Structure formats: C-alpha cells, structure tokens
A and B are shown apart, each in its own frame.
Chain A
Amino acid sequence: MPQQPQIRLQSVSKHWGATTAVNDISFDIQPGQFVILLGPSGCGKSTTLRMIAGLEEASGGKIHIGQQDVTHLPPGDRGLSMVFQSYALFPHLSVADNIVFGLRSRKVAKSEQRERLAKVAELVDLTDYLHRKPAQLSGGQRQRVALARAIISEHPICLMDEPLSNLDARLRSDMRREIKALQSRLNMTVVYVTHDQVEAMSMGDRVILMQQGHIVQDGTPDELYNQPASAFAASFIGSPAMNLLPLVLGEQGAVIEGEPTTPVAPMEAAGGQLGVRPEDIELRPASEAGIPAQVLSDEYLGADTIAHIAVGNHTVRVRLSGKQALSGKPCKLYWTPDSAHLFDQQGLRQQALAPLALPASHRSVPRPPAVGSFQH
C-alpha cells in the first residue's frame, strides 16, 4: 500500500505575464525521498522549488504538504527549510546566531536552542567556528552553516536550490557525499534543484528532468540513464552526452545519414534519431565487421580517452579506457542492439521499434564487450 505522499503537486503552473515558467506539472514525493529537479537553466526547476517553498505563489494548480493544502500558505507555515544557492547567511551575525536564527523567530526556549545548536554544529563539523562571522569562513564552511540552519529547524522537508554551484569541483564532490549521508541519517525528504547531471545521478533516489516548464522524465537515475524518455533526456544525462545520429531510409532499413552500407534500425525509424552512449560503442579494427568509420581525433582524460570518430556525415564520441592514440585511423564501430535507443521525429523514445543487430564479428568467439578493445 503506498504511503501518504509528503509533497504533492497537482497541475501546478506559473506564469509571469505572457511567459510561462512552469506549465502544468504534477508529481508526488514520498517521505524520505531524495528527489532531484534537473534541467538546463530556465527550465522552471527553481521556480517549482520556490513554489513548494511558498516564495512564489503558483498561478494555477494545488500544492499539498502532508494532508494540508499549502497553495496559499506563507512560507513560514509550511514546515520546511531551504538551502539557498547564495547560502543567504546573515553577514552581521555569528555562525551560531545564523544557525539559531529560525529558532529565535519561532520562540524556542534558550536552553533548547543551545542544545540543538551543539548537536547540529557537531553534525556538520562547525563546533570550532561558532563565533566567527560568515565572511571569515571558506565557501565550504558557509555551505555547512546554511545546511546547519536547515537541519536545526527539524522540519521533515528540506529544499535545496543549487547548493553546491558556488563551490570548487573537489569540494563539491565531498559535499555531495556529505549531504547525501546527512539526508539518509536524518531521514529527511529532500527536493534538490540542480543543472548538474553528476549531482543528479549520484545523489538522487529519483530524478525529475524538466525542459521548458514541462517534466520530460521522472524516474530513478538508472532509468534516466538506460531508458531516456526523449532525445533531450538522452543528451542531458551522461558525460560525454549520448551520440544522436539522424536516420534516413536505406535499402534494408534505416541507416545513419551518409553511411548507407549498414542498416541499424527498421525502416519505420527513418526520420528519427539513433542514440548510442559513448561508453556503449566498441571500436574494432577496420578488417572486422561493423560500421565503417574514421577516427578524427582523441582527447586523453587520464582514466579514459574520448575518441571523435566520423561516421557518415556525422561525428560520434567513443569512450575508450586508458590512453590511446588513434587519430586518422580507419576503424569499425559496433554496439549491441539493447544499448542503442531510437527516438522519433519529435525526439520521443520509440518503444515499439527495436534497433537492428549489427553484423556479428567474423570470429565465432564473441569478444568481451570491454571498451577500448581495439588494441588487442
């Protein structure tokens, strides 16, 4: 039996004059879930979060928190806390005063304030900094103060608006793990807005991908990665992004534009796109079976190499392990049918059609699907 959802959005919209920021979106969030609102800038994810917080009023639809309809309730009565992108710390107050600011507003007894402060400061590792002003802290420490301020309120719901985007890359990966650990330890319901797919994949129990005010896909990170609902979802998740190749009509089926020799999908898929992730493509010597192609250049990234390969009129990226120098060589591309995705003309996933299997290798023993097998 499904639990009572903690947050429920029903056909929520937000308009500013003629522009529509959020267009008729609905979803339920269960208690204890870590939900990511993901999308490029301007897709309406922050607006959605701010409507849940009550900082923006919804133009249409209903928002429920627990049993209560909060659509028109002021932010302070919704029982949630929020971490802002800019941290929104009060610059004239010490770390301690910043953290207990909300408790003072809610007239919590002084002794209890002190107790909760000590506990939370311990939790986020700020005990030695309580007397400092925010200006005397590093970016990561300020971030912790903002977190502490959200945690100390003991609201079951915490909203986070791109909380890590002002940190440098290394600190960011530490904080990702810390936030995730805090969330599961305190069993908070978190709604987390980000445009960074790495944050979405690594932190979320569930990712809601948005584009132009609509929800494109709502699922687990695994589902988003393996069954992207649209070409947009496919290109947004994964780094480097999924290769999208336009398909045209060939003799035995749909072929990649400019590469008529090998059919890759049924006839009906022509006009749409074929998507293959760079890590799912196998690079083979030119003498073997596969789609003929030519390596243009390679980017060495340390653990792996991204090869840019011309196939037909297009370029695909292929992820190979280790360092490989392949520039200028002809080669063959190969992938298994279940790692390829078909999208129709509107960019939506085609459930009814399956990609064709590529001609198998001359050798009867299938080679391991390890990436970078070109060097064997």
Chain B
Amino acid sequence: MNLNAHRTMQLYGALLLLPAALLLSTFAYLPTITTVINSLFLPGFRGEPAAFVGLDNYRVLLDDPTFWKVARNNLLYALGTIPTSIALALGMALFVNGKLPGRGLVRMAYFTPTILPMIAAANIWMFFYAPQIGLFNKLLGALGVSGVNWLGDPSVALGSVIVMSVWKEAGFFMIFYLAALQAIPPELKEAADLEGTRRWSFFWRVTFPLLMPTTLFVLINALINAVRVVDHLFILTKGGPNNATNLLLYYVYENAFSFFDRTMAATITVVILLVLAVVATLKFTILDRRTHYQ
C-alpha cells in the first residue's frame, strides 16, 4: 500500500518532468550527442557507410590556419565586447538609477537597442559604416578628416563589429544591473553618508560587491553571446574581408552550409562546447567563492 503510494508519487514526478525532458532531449541532448558522433566519422561517398576515423578530424582542424584565425578573432571579439559592455551597462544603470529628469525616457533609450532584432540593428549600422554615404564618414568629412572603410578594411572591420555588438548588448545588461541596484536598500547609502564615505569608496566597498551576483550572471551571458551571435555578420561583413571578422559560429555555418563539410562543422562545434564548458566552470568556481548572495 505504502509502496504503491510511493510508486504513484514517482510516476507523478516523472510525468511532470516529461515535457521538459522531451523538449530538451530532442533539441539539446540528442543533437549534442550526434554532433560528437559526427565529429568522429568521415562520411562515405556514393552510399558507402561512414568511416570511423577517431580524432583525425580534430587533427585536421588544428592544422587549419583559418580555424586559428577565426578562433583568434573570436577571442578578440570576446575581449572587446564583454568587459566594455559590462562596464558600460553598469555605468548606464548607475546613471539612470539616480535622480535625473526624464529618467524613464533615458532608461527606455538605453534599452531600445536590445528590443531591435539583430538583423535590423545591423542594417542600421550598415548605413553608419558605409564608406561614402555613411554617417561616420560624413561626420568625419565635416571635420575635414578623410573617412575609413569601416567594414572593408581588414584591420578595422573586427573593431567595427565589436562596437556594434557593445551598443546592442549594453542596454540588455543594464536592465539586470538596474534591477539589482534597486534591490539595494537606500539606508546603506545613508549609513555610509553619515560616516562621510566618499561616493567612489561607497561604490567599491558596497555597491560593487552587492552587484557581484549580477555581474557573474551577466558575465556568463556575455560569454555565451560572444560565441553565439552570428546574425550581424550575415548583414555586415559575411566574415570578410579575408576572414578578418569571421567568428566561430559563423565559421561553423560556412562549413556546414557553404562548403557542405558537415564533419568539420560538427568538430568545431564540439570544440566550442568544450571551451565554453571549461570557462563557465572556472568562472562559477572562482567567482562564486567571492560572491555574496543574499
């Protein structure tokens, strides 16, 4: 009787888990496993079965100079976007959390880039970056400075992509910081004021540590975004010129759907997953210890 009741409860629990488990396995776990398997085989030609090649695909990948270039680009992209967008988000959040006229309007303005679809935003920035008619070069021209080919010059193009990404991301992260700032009781500031604590000192000793959980969350998100975001490359550069702005996921896409090299695409995907997993684990273990959760 008792055992039966226990079984019923277990069945009940399993049924509750079923929808999520079904969705996750169909769209996350199963593809991950098949990707790993794909990366270990070479497809057979003319109906021959796929041949198991072990880690050969990985060896080929590591010998591919384009892969290293793309990986380096992605690292630069991450280094360029993550700290900048987080710092900017925090700055904007602090600004609009204070007393200022038209606060709601400023908040909305900061958040607008986030609600724009990436494709639309990239199209807007195309007009900013366009060599002859673009906004930036027009402005520079007005100052008598000759323009830059923002997206065509291999030495500038990645930077241009980074700037646009920061513009797009910062507003999104700001919302998290703003929510966290509003959860900090105002008495803390008053208590610090009574002791003559300077604004800057209060920020580093109280506000910033109390925002640490948010920073950690935003950091992980920013990292995932740095590897995940490809849509703006379709519009802005298509990875060019000469792979100067090619990023890992876009390279995966190219391999899979332009070069029809599914195996290589699967191999790169597995590498990306591994790197992300390692970095996320490191962040959580190291930063979590220093983070105060309320």
Contact = CB atoms under 8 A, between A and B. Distances in A.
A87 to B, nearest CB: 8
Interface string A286-322: 0000000000000000000000000000000000000
Given A55-B190, A88-B185, A77 B292 contact: no
Nearest to A98: B191
Contacts of B188: 88, 90
Interface string B168-210: 0000000000000000010110111111111001000110011
Contacts of B292: 91-92, 133
Contacts of A75: 190, 193-194, 196
A80 B206 CA distance: 21
B190 A84 contact: yes
Contacts of A149: 191
Contacts of A77: 196
Nearest to B292: A92
Interface residues of B, number: 20
A139 B241 CA distance: 64
A135 B292 CA distance: 11
B294 interface: yes
Contact of A76 (B196, B205, B206, B210): B196
Nearest to A77: B196
B210 A74 contact: no
Contact of A88 (B190, B210, B212): B190
A327 B43 CA distance: 99
Interface string B251-294: 00000000000000000000000000000000000000000101
B192 A86 contact: no
Report the interface size class on chain A.
20 to 34
A101 B192 contact: yes
A345 B195 CA distance: 48
Nearest to B201: A105
Nearest to B206: A90
B185 A105 contact: no
A104 B209 CA distance: 17
A102 interface: yes
A153 B209 CA distance: 24
Interface in A64-103: 74-77, 80-82, 84, 86, 88, 90-92, 101-102
B191 A88 contact: yes
A376 interface: no
B194 A80 contact: yes
B193 A76 contact: yes
Interface string A29-60: 00000000000000000000000011100000
Given A86-B185, A91-B292, A105 B192 contact: yes
A7 to B, nearest CB: 15
Contacts of B212: 92
Nearest to A86: B187
A77 to B, nearest CB: 7
A368 B210 CA distance: 65
A106 interface: yes
Contact of A102 (B185, B187, B195): B195
Contacts of B195: 76, 81, 101-102, 105-106, 153
Nearest to B187: A88
A126 B205 CA distance: 23
B82 to A, nearest CB: 24
B153 to A, nearest CB: 47
A165 B185 CA distance: 18
Contacts of B196: 74-77, 102, 105-106
Nearest to A105: B197
29 contacts: A53-B194, A54-B193, A55-B190, A74-B193, A74-B196, A75-B190, A75-B196, A81-B195, A82-B191, A82-B194, A84-B191, A86-B187, A88-B190, A90-B205, A90-B206, A92-B210, A92-B212, A92-B292, A101-B191, A101-B192, A101-B195, A101-B197, A101-B205, A102-B195, A105-B195, A105-B198, A106-B196, A133-B292, A135-B294
Interface of B: 185, 187-188, 190-198, 201, 205-206, 209-210, 212, 292, 294
The 6 A-B residue pairs whose C-beta atoms are closest, nearest first, are A76-B196, A102-B195, A88-B187, A92-B292, A105-B197, A88-B191
Given A76-B195, A90-B206, A106-B196, 8 more contacts: A75-B190, A82-B194, A84-B187, A86-B185, A90-B188, A101-B205, A102-B194, A105-B192
